[in-house]
Amino acid sequence: MNTRMGEEVRERVRDATDIVQLIGERVALRRAGRSYKGLCPFHTEKTPSFTVTPDRQIWHCFGCSKGGDVFAFLMELDKLTFPEALRVLADRAGIDLPKQERGPGDEIFEKIYQANALARDFFHASLGLGASGAPGGTTHAGAAKARAYLASRGFEEPWISRFEVGWAPEGWDGLLNALTKLLPAQVMEQAGLIVRRGDGTGHYDRFRNRILFPIAAASGKIAGFGARAIAEADEPKYLNSPETPVFRKGRLLYGLPVARPGMRETGEVIVAEGYLDVMRLHACGFTNAVSTCGTALTIDQAKLLARLQISVLLLYDGDDAGVRAAERALDPLFEAGLNVRLLLLPRGEDPDSYLRAQGPGALRERLETALDVPAFLAGASAPEKGDPGVEARVRRLVGLLGRIEDPIRRRLILRRGADVFGLEEAVLLEAVQGRGRGKKGAKTQALVTPGPAAGPVSGTTGEKSVDGGRAAGVSGASEATTAPSDPVERELAGRVLTEEGAFLEVVAQGGATCFNSTALQELLRPWFDMGRRPLDEELRELMAQSALTRVLIAELFPDPEKALEASRREARELVYRLEERRLRVRRQEIREELIRAEQEGDDPLRAGLSAEWDRINAKLSDLASKVDMRRSQAA
């Protein structure tokens, strides 16, 4: 689409959107002259500083300085890309976007979403709670049993409607007959709503005599359904929609659109295991709760949460299955870079049953005692069968530490792990580094023997981090006999060790975090912590202990006459080049993930990846301009 036509579409959608109505659905607004005011949804405040000006179709917060139009509001609040915000508002306004504005798979995706929306309305109306607004929806004979079941679990209005819970009638073709005049059977089959008969003579309803829980994508559109049997004889007890172009249960979280306001308010998401758990949590005031869709938590679900920039609290059942589920969830959550706390309920309890028995106050008190991951592994998790226990738990923590890319976060959790297990930091660090080199790490006896720090868990002090870090840095690096393969990293590390200008520049750019190599990070971090490079005698001592240091300096042959500013300038450019490489590698990964997301029709993932692609391109452009400017100054 040409630029002019794109602008025309954007203006049409903007003009057709009532900005006060749109924002008023998410923010409590009151009139103030020709404008409207409310509490800003993007930061915490007690006095309203968020203003909506309908005459100009803009909003602005005088507290956090954020502002924009209707597109900017959705993009900021729901973390959407512009194309996705455009589609949401166009659908809301009833405006058909030109084909150029839609992806190649959008047509079939939209048809499936439409089929699911109609099915949701039919199921909800079939439950018979109020007037039927769905095609073919009426009060069926078995609906009373469905309502009685929900009532027995303590669920009534408004929560049944808030989560759009429904009921599938007992017959074989209730939904099929209701939607036949509205949708082709092929679309209903693609959506997983009906199943082709074995003899090929027709179709029948997939869901029959079950409570239906609509599962929405991050955009709010219905991607599929989870269904629970009412009759004890019906198997399976839980039945999900099959995998479809829009329903990938490993990429969806039940209740996410409903939970988003609570997640923004608290900065945290509560992850439970069941649909009824989520409904109960929301009904009791825990409005930041979601659940997986009958599977273990996946890396795609963890990445979805990571894009929302929140921390995670796992709230699982306290039985053996709950412990195992919590432990399995740690790998994807750590890989996605999320901060995690865990709370296991008493054995035999789930969030739904616990809240019904004890009330929200009791759960709030328990949530205050949620454990961080090292403490959970040290005291709350059950050792594997036939395992002595503590060693397995320490090695489990070592494995998780190896998944953390952020060196600062990895070091903080490592220190915490050393405290709760009563180990020396250097021992735990050596195990992590040994795992990274493909070795078994520290010997078993050294790993599980408590050090002087054993005892009550306490915070670490700055003094301890300097002394302990230095010892750990020398010890950890001494086993590496070759320098990292990246010549840029080798050169930069050598200059940091031997040139004060290079050292000062790298300190200014972020210290050890400038390096991709874990070995180099641990070698150099002690000196960055102390704010100076090694003195000559310290460097000689380090070379005697560390083969890695000898290799770096032997390769470099630094010029002792080099001017301080020249050294800093060259180090600065090396830092930029390392960052550029990191960004280009990630951009290639995003390119491949975008292709997969496009093929699978995963709109939320595609939106998040597109936003990250834009951010990386902006950073690369900024780096290029910095390098050009430095070179022109040097010339």
Query: What separation in angstroms does the CA of 148 have from each of 142, 144, 508, 621?
Result: 10, 6, 65, 61
DSSP H or E segment with residue 222: strand 222-229
519 pLDDT tier (thresholds 50, 70, 90): confident
Where does a domain end: 67, 86, 101?
101
d(CA 402, CA 484): 18
Q: What is the mean pLDDT of residues 324-330?
A: 93
Q: What is the mean pLDDT of residues 19-37?
A: 88
Please report, for the domain that includes residue 338, its CATH number. Answer: 3.40.1360.10
d(CA 219, CA 227): 21
| Residue 273 neighbours by CB under 8 Å, 6+ apart | 291, 292, 316, 317, 322, 325, 350
630 pLDDT tier (thresholds 50, 70, 90): low
pLDDT at 462: 33
Give the least confident one: 128-137, 198-207, 530-539: 128-137
pLDDT at 316: 95
What DSSP string describes 380-442?
TSPPPTT--SHHHHHHHHHHHHTT---HHHHHHHHHHHHHHHT--HHHHHHHHHHHHTTS--S
Q: Which burial class, exposed, middle or buried, applies to 22 when counting CB atoms under 10 A from its CB (0-12, 13-18, 19+)?
A: middle
Computed over every residue of the chain, the mean pLDDT equals 79
Three-state SS at 140: coil
pLDDT at 555: 55
Q: What does the CA dihedral 542, 548, 553, 554 come to, rounded to 10 degrees? A: 120
| Domain assignment of residue 417, yes or no | no
d(CA 410, CA 465): 14
Is the pLDDT confidence value at 531 over 80?
A: no
pLDDT at 140: 64
Say which residue, 109 or 224, is predicted with more confidence: 224
Q: What is the mean pLDDT of residues 37-48?
A: 88
Is the pLDDT confidence value at 256 over 80?
A: yes
DSSP H or E segment with residue 536: helix 536-545
pLDDT at 319: 86
Domain that holds residue 510: 487-634
Chain segment 374-423, per-residue pLDDT in tens:
999 987 544 444 445 788 889 999 999 988 888 888 888 999 999 998 88
| Domain assignment of residue 460, yes or no | no
Task: Note whether 12 and 89 are same-domain residues.
Answer: yes
d(CA 252, CA 266): 21
Three-state SS at 168: strand
Chain segment 446-499, per-residue pLDDT in tens:
333 333 333 333 333 333 332 333 333 333 333 333 445 577 777 787 778 777
Task: Note whether 91 and 140 are same-domain residues.
Answer: no
Chain segment 153-202, per-residue pLDDT in tens:
999 888 999 999 999 998 899 999 999 999 999 999 999 999 998 887 89
pLDDT at 613: 84
Residue 60 in tokens: 């602005």
Q: What is the mean pLDDT of residues 1-29?
A: 78
| Number of independent structural domains in the chain | 4
DSSP 270: E
Residue 488 in tokens: 């840029």
583 pLDDT tier (thresholds 50, 70, 90): confident
| Domain assignment of residue 389, yes or no | no
pLDDT at 503: 79
pTM for the whole thing?
0.59
Report, in angstroms and rounded to the nearest whole number, the Rg of the chain calculated over CA atoms.
Answer: 29
d(CA 436, CA 430): 10
Task: Note whether 179 and 262 are same-domain residues.
Answer: no
| Domain assignment of residue 267, yes or no | yes
Task: Note whether 521 and 626 are same-domain residues.
Answer: yes
